Structure 1
């Protein structure tokens, strides 16, 4: 057992960066991280080669995929399959996301 301190908690991006990404845990079959986008910020991520689950722990935004768009806020759980384009837009409140990748982030190579 392991308690993952800080996972899903808001952290402002470092000076000169758009967003904050921290990998909090990594094992071969999954990884857990925290992705933060400040209010008014731009999500600059690319599709991933792993399946992904986001849990919104703070903030509000809109997620856009080829299948549609949805408003999200605290408590929302979002599944994004490997390779699917997705982006958080209209970030109206500092957005903190707990992110779970299966298998571990980047373990399947690049998209």
Structure 2
């Protein structure tokens, strides 16, 4: 067992539009917290791994090729590998637990 300290806590360094922090990485999955402040921008690109987003706090929209949805505490959304998506219209500081399967970048290598 491993307790993931700091997982799902809102944290964005000053001046950053968003922040991602990984808490766990094993071959078959990785877990991290993605935070976007009110008015912040989500600049992520499609991933080569499947993702599950669990919204812990905040409010905004998740837009994807297959549709869009309002998200808030308790929202759980699956985004398949390769589907373009991003959080928009963040009206309350957003903290999202992100689960990648398999681990983020394991199919494509680390980002450049």
Scaled by the length of structure 1, the TM-score of the pair is 0.95
Question: Hey, what's the Cα distance between the residues in 1 that align with 2:68 and 2:53?
Answer: 15
Unaligned runs of at least 5 residues, structure 1: none
Aligned to 1:45: 44
Alpha-carbon separation, structure 1, partners of 2:88 and 2:75: 15
In the alignment, does 2:35 pair up with 1:36?
Answer: yes
CA RMSD of aligned residues (A): 1.3
- Is 2:20 aligned against 1:4? no
- When normalised by structure 2's length, the TM-score is 0.94
Partner of 2:63: 64
Deviation at 1:15, TM superposition (A): 3.2
Say yes or no: does 1:27 pair with 2:14.
Answer: no
How far the C-alpha of 1:18 sits from its partner, in A, is 1.6
Please give the secondary structure, in 2, of the residue aligned with 1:39. coil
Q: How many residues align?
A: 110
